[in-house]
Amino acid sequence: MARARDLPLDDDGSARFLPWLVALMVYLAALAIGGGAALHNAVERWNAGLAGALTIELPRGANGAPVAQDRVDAVLGELGRVPGIVHASRLDPAAETRLLAPWLGQDVDISVLPLPVLIDVETRPGVMLDPDTLAQRLAIVAPGTSVESHGSWLARLFRIARLIEFGAATIVLLIGGVAVLTVVFVTRTGLAMHAPVVELVHLIGASDAYVARQFQWHAFRLAFGGGGIGLVMALVSYGALRWTAGQGLLPGEAAVLPVFHLPLLGWLAVLALPPAMGLVGLVTARRTVLGTLGRMP
Amino acid sequence: MVRFENVGMRYGAGPEVLHDIELDLEPGGFFFLTGPSGAGKSTLLKLMYLAERPTRGRVMLFDRDVAGLTRAQLPALRRRIGVVFQEFRLIEHLSALDNVALPLRVAGRDETRVRDHVVDLLNWVGLADHIHARPRELSGGQQQRLAIARAVTRQTSLLIADEPTGNVDDAIALRLLYLFEELNRRGTTVVIATHNQALIERFGHPVLHIENGRLERRPSLRAVQ
C-alpha cells in the first residue's frame, strides 16, 4: 500500500491551478522555441542557397527592346575571365517561370513580359566578390548591367531574425521567472494553510528538510504534469501549423517561405520543458520552504 | 533529564504566565502535573517539549541548555520526547497506521519495519481493528489512544501527556495509566498533566502542582502514607 504524504497538499485549492498555469507556460514557451527555430531554419536555408551566388541583371533596351544575345555573350565571356567564378549561365525561361510562379502562377507565358536577362553566377566557396567592382567591369562590355549579391538584404534579414530569436529566448526566460514566482506563491500559501500540521511534524521531530521534501515533490509532480499537458498542446499546434503551412504551396514557395521544422536541438529543448518545469518547481518549493521555516525561531 | 532554573514565561507583550519556576526531574521518574485551569500547566509542558522557549531563566533538557540550541539541533532532541497533546492533534487525512508511523518516518526509520511495529502498537492500545481508519472515524477515546500510540511509538526518553485521560471513561483511564507505568518501568520519564485526583491517589507518584504560574513539588502520596 502506498503511504500517504504527511501534509494534505493535494487538497490545496491554491495548488489546483498550478498544473494549468504551467501547461500554459510550457505551451507558450514551446511555441516561442518552435517559432524561433523555424525562423532560424528558414534563414539558414536562405543563406545556404544564396551563399556564393550572385545574380547579374541585363536590363532591356529603350522602349523595352529585348536584350541582344551578343550583350549576353559579352557579359558571360567577361565573367569567365573573373577569378573565383566557377560557373555563370543565363537563366533559361523554364527557370524564370519557376522563379515567378509563386507570384504569377505557372501558366503565364513569360516571353511576353518585359523581363531583364538574368545570369546566375556561382563563386568558389570562400570567395567574396565585390559586387560594385564587378558591376563596373561588366558595364564596360554591357552598359547598364547590375550585380546583386543578396548580401545586404540577407544581412538585414539576419538582424531581424536574430532579434526575433532573442525575443523568443526572452519569452522563455520570462516564462521561467513567472513559473518561479507562481511556485513561491503556491508554496507559501500551502505553508500558511498547513501551519498546524507543519508545527506538529516539527514537534514530533521532523527537520525543516523533511517538511521541504513534502512540498518539493508535490511541486515537482504538479509542474511536471502541467508541463506534460502543455507539451501535448504544443505538439498538436506544431502539427496544425505544419499542416496549414504546407497547404496550397506552389512549386518554389516552399523554398522561400519559412517551413515549420524543428532541428534536433529544438526538439530536445521542447521535450525538456516539462522536466525543466518540474525541476524549477522542485528547487523553488524547497528553497521557499527552507527559507520560510529558517526565519522561524 | 529536565531542569528549570528561575524560568519565567510570557506570550508576546502579555503578562507573565510562569514565574520563577525551579524544577528538576530525575531520569526514570513518573510525575503528575496538577493545577487549576489556566494555571500554566500547558505552558510548562510546552517548554518541556520544545514548542516554546522561556522568556527568562534556563531550561535544560537532557543536559543541554535549550537557549543555545540552533533550529537544526531541535529535531534530534524532539525525537527523544513523546507528546500526547490535549487536543490529540492527529492528522486528519492520515490513517491510524500512518499517524502512529509518523514519528518513525520523520526519524527516517526503515519503512519495511515500520508497519509491523506500528501494527503491534495499535494492537497494544486496542485499535488493531482500526488501522486504516481516519481519526474522524474514531471515537474520542479511540483518538486519545491513537495519540498515545503515536507518542510512544519511538520509545522516547521523556513522555509528556497533557490530560491524556480527559476523554475516556475510568476503566480506559486506568488502563492508560498502567500503560504509562509500563513505559516508565522500561526507563521512560513520564510527566502527566491531569485533573483526575482519583488516579493521582491510586498511583501515588510525585505531584508537581502549579497555581498562578508558580510551581511547587509535592511528595508522592505513597511516601506521605
- Model pLDDT for residues B11-39, shown as the tens digit of each residue: 988 999 999 999 999 999 999 999 998 88
CB contacts of B101 in chain A (<8 Å) are 3
Question: Which one, of B17, B20, B13, lies nearest residue B56 by Cα?
Answer: B20
Interface probe with A: pick from B52, B84, B102, B132, most Cβ of A within 10 Å: B102
What's residue B179's pLDDT? 85
Instruction: Map grid coordinates 544564396 to a residue.
Output: A50
For residue B9, what are the β-bridge partners?
B18
Average pLDDT rounded to a whole number, residues B45-56: 94
Angstrom distance (rounded) from CA B48 to CA A262:
64
A197 Cβ under 8 Å from any chain B Cβ? yes
Residues 6+ apart with CB under 8 A from B221: B200, B201, B204, B207
| Shortest Cα distance, chain A CAs vs residue B220, angstroms | 30
Domain ranges of chain B: 88-155
CB contacts of B161 in chain A (<8 Å) are none
What's residue A274's pLDDT? 96
B51, B94, B106: residue with CB nearest A205: B106
Are the C-beta atoms of residues A215 and A9 closer than 8 Å to each other? Answer: yes
Residue pLDDT, tens place only, B72-119: 899 999 999 999 998 899 999 999 999 999 999 998 888 888 999 999
A201 Cβ under 8 Å from any chain B Cβ? yes
A196 Cβ under 8 Å from any chain B Cβ? yes
Residue pLDDT, tens place only, B185-211: 999 999 999 988 888 989 989 999 999
Nearest CA in chain A to B72: A207
Interface probe with B: pick from A194, A199, A204, most Cβ of B within 10 Å: A204
For every residue of chain B, DSSP letters joined together read -EEEEEEEEESTTS-EEEEEEEEEEPTT-EEEEE--TTSSHHHHHHHHTTSS--SEEEEEETTEEGGG--GGGHHHHHTTEEEE-TT----TTS-HHHHHHHHHHHTT--HHHHHHHHHHHHHHTT-GGGTT--GGGS-HHHHHHHHHHHHHTT--SEEEEESTTTTS-HHHHHHHHHHHHHHHHTT-EEEEE---HHHHHHH---EEEEETTEEEEE--HHHH-
Share of chain A above pLDDT 90, in %: 38
Q: What is the ipTM of this complex?
A: 0.89
Average pLDDT rounded to a whole number, residues B152-176: 86
What's residue A250's pLDDT? 58
Residues of chain A with CATH 3.30.70: 49-152
Angle between helices A208-246 and A151-193 (to 10 degrees): 140
Are the C-beta atoms of residues B150 and B102 closer than 8 Å to each other? Answer: yes
Cβ distance A205 to B93 less than 8 Å, yes or no, reads no
For residue B59, what are the β-bridge partners?
B4
- Cell numbers standing for residue A66: 529585348
What's residue A111's pLDDT? 74
User: A1 falls in which pLDDT band (50, 70, 90)?
Assistant: very low
A295 Cβ under 8 Å from any chain B Cβ? no
Q: Which fold has domain A49-152?
A: Alpha-Beta Plaits (3.30.70)
B76, B91, B150: residue with CB nearest A6: B91
Question: Which one, of B189, B214, B218, lies nearest residue B201 by Cα?
Answer: B218
User: Average pLDDT of chain A?
Assistant: 85
Residue pLDDT, tens place only, A78-101: 989 988 888 898 888 788 777 777
pLDDT for residue A67 is more than 60: yes
Residue pLDDT, tens place only, A34-56: 888 888 877 777 777 676 788 88
User: A253 falls in which pLDDT band (50, 70, 90)?
Assistant: low
What's residue A4's pLDDT? 54
Torsion of Cα atoms, B58 then B60 then B66 then B72, to 10°: 170
Cβ distance A196 to B89 less than 8 Å, yes or no, reads yes
The 3-state secondary structure of chain A reads CCCCCCCCHHHCHHHHCHHHHHHHHHHHHHHHHHHHHHHHHHHHHHHHHHCCEEEEEECCCHHHCCCCHHHHHHHHHHHHCCCCEEEEEECCHHHHHHHHHHHHCCCCCHHHCCCCEEEEEEECCCCCCCHHHHHHHHHHHCCCCEEECCHHHHHHHHHHHHHHHHHHHHHHHHHHHHHHHHHHHHHHHHHHHCHHHHHHHHHHCCCHHHHHHHHHHHHHHHHHHHHHHHHHHHHHHHHHHHHHHHCCCCCCHHHHCCCCCCCHHHHHHHHCHHHHHHHHHHHHHHHHHHHHHHCCC
Which of A161-170, A247-256, B73-82 is the least confident region?
A: A247-256
Residue pLDDT, tens place only, A103-135: 777 777 777 788 888 898 888 887 778 888 888
B50, B83, B106: residue with CB nearest A206: B106
A89 Cβ under 8 Å from any chain B Cβ? no
- Cell numbers standing for residue A204: 514530533
Higher pLDDT, B62 or A52: B62
What's residue B135's pLDDT? 95
Start-to-end CA span in chain B (Å): 27
Residues 6+ apart with CB under 8 A from B59: B2, B3, B4, B5, B7, B47, B48, B53, B65, B66, B67
Higher pLDDT, A272 or A255: A272
Cβ distance B71 to A208 less than 8 Å, yes or no, reads yes
Average pLDDT rounded to a whole number, residues B127-146: 92
B75, B89, B95: residue with CB nearest A207: B75
Cβ distance A201 to B106 less than 8 Å, yes or no, reads yes
